[in-house]
Structure formats: structure tokens, C-alpha cells
Amino acid sequence: MAAPFSWIRPEPHGVHIVPADVWIDPSRAVDTALVTHGHADHARGGHGTTVATPETLAIMELRYNTREGATPVEYGETIRLKGGVDATYIPAGHVLGSAQILLEHAGERVVITGDYKRRADPTCPPFQVTPCDIFITEATFGLPLFTHPPIEDEMAKLLGRLQAHPDSCVLVGAYALGKAQRVIAELRAAGHKQPIYLHGAMEKMCRLYEEFGVDLGELRLVSDHEKDDMRGSIVVCPPSALNDRWSRRLPDPITAMASGWMRVRQRARQRNVELPLVISDHADWNELTRTIEEVNPHETWITHGREEALLRWHQLHQRSARALALVGYEDEDD
Ligand SMILES: [Zn+2]
Ligand SMILES: [Zn+2]
């Protein structure tokens, strides 16, 4: 008998499933990769075979031009890999197509989350708690100071500011994959029916979301319109465009940014953000610890983020945990 869990091995550039010879979210090109979601620190081009949800594969094709070796797996579907390893894709609630991967081998169960959150998100199905022996979690916001407020509060702030300044526009910096579409969908849920204007870099990803059935309402491109058309409107752009020359074409923009990091005032100041919106697609501290309690694994492995406080929390709660030293995981999304 092999030692328990010797079939799953954390390496610097990803988690290796030894009997199947597949890698989870590897940071370099491999023969076979199982990919949790489309963000750049998890999904890379150049693999021989990429196994992911159809949504993630479409995102990867759009962003990295990868089409070769794409193998779709639906949520809830189990595929049999080499060496008697079963892999099941389970919703992670992070962005369109995002999945946790349950791996089963020799009676042992390991769940690798990729990135996840527990808040409702109109653009993707919710995270599902999956009991397992080893739970491999992210910890992007793994500090007690990180608590994300209800998104309704942040939407109310945004719409309130817009109403108070009908001759301006509110320019919202949001990551192009996930955050932008979630903010738009939440604005619609809050009753905002006006057209929303997009920076050109956001258009294709928004269209892809729509193709997968996410309703974003009427979207217009900034480049097709005059300054005066956009007064009293919301404009969404990538964070890099917030302080860019590009924004000069907008009518007196009030700059906002949607990110979990907006909890930290200094980060908002660095980007000259007037209206910080604390909106994250990652679990906050309470979601991380609640999830670990609910999953109740024998051991937690922490892939990326701030692991020290979460390790300490495990100690205090008589739980066992270790931090994996993975390289190349720096979240573009937050
Ligand atoms: Zn992500
Ligand atoms: Zn990540």
C-alpha cells in the first residue's frame, strides 16, 4: 500500500496528480492540465490537453487563443483519468465557469478549490461544500481585517453617487474577467436599467458572458459615443485605464474601483480612487474559516495568498494545515 495521499504532490509550479500524470492549474506548459478557471494565474496556454468547464475553455480561447486539446467537463460530471483517479468539477462561485476539482483515488478524497467565494453572484452557480480528506484552498484575503460588505451596500453607494452628480459619469475600474460582469449584473439587479458604457477592452468578455446566458442589459461602447451622451451614466473600464489619457473623453468622471483591496485605504489612494467599492470575487476571512469548518477536512493545504493567519487559525482550532510554496500565483482578479 502506498502512503496516504502520496498520489497528490504539491510542486512549485502546481499540484501534480502522480498516477494520472496531470497537473492542476500549472504555471508552466504540461501534457495534461486540469484548469479550475480562466484567470491568468490559473489558466495558461500551451498545454497538450486542457480539461475544464466549457465556459472556462471558451474564456481561455478568447484570452490566450488556446483551442488545441480542449476537453470540456460539465459541473457535476466525473471523468476517469489514468491510474484510477476520478475528477469531478464542482461550482466554485468565483467567475463564469469556475470550478473546484474533487479528486478521488484509493478511497481518498481531495478537493482543490482554485479561487472561490461564498457570496451569491448572478453570473455563476454558487460554491458547493464538498466533504473531503484534504481541502486545498486559496487564501487571497486570509486576514481577519478582510470582511467584504454586502454587495447591495456597495451598489447603493455607486447609484447614490451617480444620482447626486447627473452631469458627470461614474467610471468604475473592474477586472475584465468576472468583476466587470458581476458589477453590471448587480447593477441590473438593483434596478439600474440605463445603458452602461464599456471600455473597448471589456466588450468581448461581456459578449462571451451573454452567450453563456448571463443577461447584462444594454451595453454601449464608449468609443461609439459623444461625451454628452454619457452624462449621468456608469462607465466600466479595466483598472489600468482609470488614470489613463483614455478617460479624458468622459464627462467629468468620478473614479470608482470594485475590488476587495479597496478595504485598504492606501490602495484606493494609490489609484486616485474617489469611490472605493469593496467588491471581491474571493472569500473573505469569515468565508474562508466558515468554509473550512463546513468542509471539515482532516487537513487543509493553502495554495496562495496570505497563509500565516489562516495557519494560526487552524492551530487555535486544533486543525491541521500546511502552506504550499507554489510560484507564479498572483491574482489579477480580486
Ligand atoms: Zn481567480
Ligand atoms: Zn487565484
CA of 331 to the centre of ligand 2 (A): 5
CA of 55 to the centre of ligand 1 (A): 14
With a cut of 70, say whether residue 334 has pLDDT above it: no
pLDDT tens digits, 113-172 = 999 999 999 999 999 999 999 999 999 999 999 999 999 999 999 999 999 999 999 999
Determine what percent of the chain is predicted with pLDDT higher than 70: 97
With a cut of 80, say whether residue 66 has pLDDT above it: no
Q: Can you tell me the distance from the alpha carbon of 231 to that of 295, in angstroms, rounded to the nearest whole number?
A: 48
CA of 57 to the centre of ligand 2 (A): 17
Residues in the chain: 334
With a cut of 70, say whether residue 265 has pLDDT above it: yes
What is the torsional sign of CA 53, 55, 57, 60?
negative
Q: What is the pTM of this model?
A: 0.96
The pLDDT score that the predictor gives to residue 247 is 94
CA of 234 to the centre of ligand 1 (A): 25
Q: Can you tell me the distance from the alpha carbon of 309 to that of 315, in angstroms, rounded to the nearest whole number?
A: 10
Among 234, 233, 241, which Cα is nearest to 271's?
241
The pLDDT score that the predictor gives to residue 329 is 66
Q: Which ligand is nearest to the CA of 138?
A: 2
CA of 140 to the centre of ligand 2 (A): 7
pLDDT tens digits, 178-234 = 999 999 999 999 999 999 999 999 999 999 999 999 999 999 999 999 999 999 999
Residue with cell 466525473: 78
CA of 51 to the centre of ligand 2 (A): 18
With a cut of 80, say whether residue 1 has pLDDT above it: no
